[in-house]
Structure 1
Amino acid sequence: MQEDFLHYLWKFKKYAFAKAETTTGLPITLINVGQHNHLAGPDFFNTTLVIGNQKWAGNVEIHLKSSDWYAHNHETDAAYDNVILHVVWEHDVEIYRKDNTAIPTLVLKELVVEKALRSYKELFNNQSQQWINCENSIREIPQMIQSNWLERLYFERLTRKTEHITPMLNKVNGDWEAALFVLLMRSFGTKVNANAFQSIAEKIDFSIVRKCAQEPFRLEALLLGMAGLLPENTIDSYPMQLQGEYEFVSHKFQIASDGVLPVQFYKLRPDNFPTLRLSQVAQLYHKHLNLFQKMMSAATVAELYALFDIKASQYWDTHYSFGKDQKKRAKKLSSSFIDIIIINAIIPLRFFYNQYLGKDESEVLLSMMHAIKPESNSIINKYNSLRDRAQNAQETQALLELKANYCDLNKCLSCAIGNYLIKH
Structure 2
Amino acid sequence: MNAEQFYPIFLRAGKVTIDSRTVQKNDLFFAFSGEQFNAAVMADKAFESGALAVIVEQKEYENEAKNIFYVPSTLIFLQELAKYHRNNLNIPIIALTGSNGKTTTKELIHAVLSEKFRVQYTFGNLNNHIGVPLTMLSIRPEHEIAVIEMGANHQKEIEMLCSIAEPDFGYITNFGKAHLEGFGGFEGVVKGKSELYDYLKSNGKTILVNENDSIQLQKTADYPNRITFGKENSQYFFKEFSEKNYVGLAFGSRKIQSKLTGSYNFTNLCAAAAFGLHFGIGIDEIKSAIENYIPTNMRSQIMQKDGKTMVLDTYNANPSSMTESLKNFSSFEGTKTIIIGDMLELGEESEKEHGDILKFAKAMNFDEIMTVGKYFKMVNGSEKAFENTENLIGFLKENKIKSKNILLKASRGIALEKIISFI
State TM-score, norm by structure 2. Answer: 0.20
Higher helix share: 1
Structure with the bigger RCO (C-alpha within 8 Å, sep 6+) is 1
